[in-house]
Amino acid sequence: MTLIAGLQFQGVPLLLGDFLITGSRTYSLKKLHLISHNFVVAWTGHLIVAEAVLRDVYNEFKGVTVSRERLEQFLSNCTEWVEGDLGVHLMGWLIDSEPHCFLWNSHYPHQLYYEEAHI
């Protein structure tokens, strides 16, 4: 089980995650990923799906300024990641004119959920 949380503390966006994972793949031990200067994600779910999602997210957004519209378009058009009951949740922060905490579920890829916090 993985714990991830996105919240603000004294107006500063925070993303928290644990390091517990079963298996020997060291790349996926990281649950939090700084993709670019305004975009960070954490994941929970099935490792095989997380690896595919994170690879594609890195390839698309690494080192570039990410917009809400582009992130929503990218994630909602990527339905090939779902493998039966296997899935992944992404939680993170996207910072543009203000911070946006989001949650995305690979089983419902057409919707990003924005809230002040996700736990």
pLDDT in tens, 9-34: 998 998 888 766 555 555 546 889 99
d(CA 101, CA 14): 9
How high is the pLDDT of residue 29? 66
**What is the arithmetic mean of pLDDT over 52-65?**
96
How would residue 113 be classed by pLDDT, with cut points 50, 70 and 90?
very high
How high is the pLDDT of residue 80? 75
Query: CA distances (Å), 63 to each of 22, 36, 84, in order?
Result: 30, 5, 32
Helix (H), strand (E) at residue 69: helix 68-76
Which residue has tokens 């993303």?
Answer: 15
Q: Is 10 left (phi over 0), alpha (psi -120 to 50) or beta?
A: left
How high is the pLDDT of residue 22? 58
Query: CA distances (Å), 27 to each of 45, 77, 109, in order?
Result: 15, 25, 24
pLDDT, tens digit, for every residue of 63-100?
Answer: 999 999 999 999 998 777 776 789 999 999 999 999 99
How high is the pLDDT of residue 6? 93
Neighbour-count burial of 15, counting CB atoms closer than 10 A to its CB (0-12 exposed, 13-18 middle, 19+ buried): buried
